[in-house]
Amino acid sequence: MTMKLIISNGTFASLRPGAKRTAVTGTMVIENDMIVFLGEHLPQEHDTPEAVRIDGKGLFFMPGLINTHGHAAMSLLRGYGDDMVLQTWLQEKMWPMEAKFTAEDVRWGTALSVLEMLKGGTTTFVDMYDHMDEVAKVIEESGMRACLMRGAIGLCPADVQEAKLREAVQFARDWHGKADGRITAMLAPHAPYTCPPGFIEKFVQAAHDLDLPLHTHMSETAAEVAQNVADYGLRPVAHLEKLGFFSRPSFVAHGVHLTDEEIEVLARHEVAVSHNPGSNLKLASGVARVPELLRAGVTVSLGTDGPASNNNLDMFEEMRLAALIHKGVSGDPTAVPAAEAMRMGTLYGAQTIRAEKLGLLEPGMKADIVAVHVNQPHFVPHTDFVSHMIYSASAKDVAHVWVDGRQVVKDGQCLTLDEERILYEAGRCFERLLER
């Protein structure tokens, strides 16, 4: 049976590059998981009595936000060590705790993050972690969309490396296309500085064999770039290029420290960059060259990174940071305008993960939709809703969320997950990690 939803009197983001206006007011029709109409007046053929109808007055509708880099289960370590030197933070805080993570910890940490993301308007996220079966099960239950991969650190004996690679491949085989297509898989050697070249090459080969894209961390800190040069005589981009990484559809997280030549290479190979401004600032990694990347034609999307280094999963905040910091650091107030920041959080995110049917509110696209209440003080006057979403909004302003045509958040409440249980279990997991 066809499920039809008609949203009338709404204002909808119009983000296709080159569009004359960034918002249109009118009616949207959704059939099952797809948008089938958006325009001023409802055509008669869609005006059917069995349709569910929503009055969109006072709501601004935008494409679901796409978080292109993260480690959801690390929410269990939110606030457990801040304002520290990176190596101390990793060695004394993060790694000892993460080494104790069980499948159950990953389950509840991920559920906590998925709950936060859905309520905050993020409909798709990229997750690179361990115990990925647990992550996939949470996605299945939550109704969210995700691009999942087992992140493999190769600083270990050959047999352990092999086991990790097998696990990554098996996960991709088991879950790619599952949950009604809401789950896709990728392969992800963790980073050039944590994976020997031969290990990365095996992932490249596996990606060819499975016809899957690749993802990795790259050039997050100046120190890791210097280390790459010391170890291999090449900066990370040339290093990954040499290992064949860019022969696959691929994207990298961070990309903070890039030369003009490296930007050129990324553009040539159509390698997208997941820009993680909150994490990069908090860990003092630096400020990525986003205006230069965009000018060079590189697809730049946004990621929160793990909640321990952010410390929330509010994609409105990442869009705002992207719009603000590149102005402040470059001295150019026209850098990353509001509509471009919103594309980074939506359309460019879709392009990053090669999801052709996500990122725009248009007929033929998936119905991944966020509605924000605009009759609030910080959105008045109603001058420019895209500006308001970028410069004034937060995750807490989200009223309703649909993924794949199914409503998953209504009036700020998640319909698919048990919030009270998740908060309780996540708190308990953290207490047990401390005791273990």
* Whether the Cβ atoms of residue 395 and residue 119 lie closer than 8 Å to each other: yes
Closest listed residue to residue 146, CA positions, set 119, 170, 180: 180
Q: Which is nearer to a copy of itself, 96 or 328 (CB)?
A: 328
* Whether the Cβ atoms of residue 397 and residue 372 lie closer than 8 Å to each other: yes
- For every residue of 322-359, DSSP letters joined together read HHHHHHHHHT-TTSS-HHHHHHHHTHHHHHHTT-TT-S
Least distance from C-beta 276 to a copy of itself, angstroms?
11
Closest listed residue to residue 294, CA positions, set 328, 339, 250: 339
Least distance from C-beta 397 to a copy of itself, angstroms?
7
* Amino acid sitting at position 139: I
Least distance from C-beta 242 to a copy of itself, angstroms?
29
Q: Is 259 exposed, middle or buried (0-12, 13-18, 19+ CB in 10 A)?
A: middle
Question: 181 in helix, strand or coil?
Answer: coil
Does residue 381 have a cis peptide bond before it, meaning omega lies within 30 degrees of 0? yes
Q: Which is nearer to a copy of itself, 65 or 187 (CB)?
A: 65
- 241 annotated to bind ligand: no
Q: Which is nearer to a copy of itself, 173 or 295 (CB)?
A: 295
Q: Which is nearer to a copy of itself, 130 or 425 (CB)?
A: 425
Least distance from C-beta 418 to a copy of itself, angstroms?
12
- 98 annotated to bind ligand: yes
- 436 annotated to bind ligand: no
Closest listed residue to residue 396, CA positions, set 312, 326, 337, 331: 312
- 176 annotated to bind ligand: no
- 254 annotated to bind ligand: no
Least distance from C-beta 116 to a copy of itself, angstroms?
4
- 220 annotated to bind ligand: yes
CA distance from start to end of the chain: 51
Least distance from C-beta 392 to a copy of itself, angstroms?
4
- 217 annotated to bind ligand: yes
Q: Which is nearer to a copy of itself, 14 or 161 (CB)?
A: 14
Q: Which is nearer to a copy of itself, 323 or 353 (CB)?
A: 323
State the binding site for Zn(2+). Answer: 69, 71, 217, 305
State the binding site. Answer: 69, 71, 98, 150, 190, 217, 220, 305
State the binding site for substrate. Answer: 98, 150, 190, 220, 305
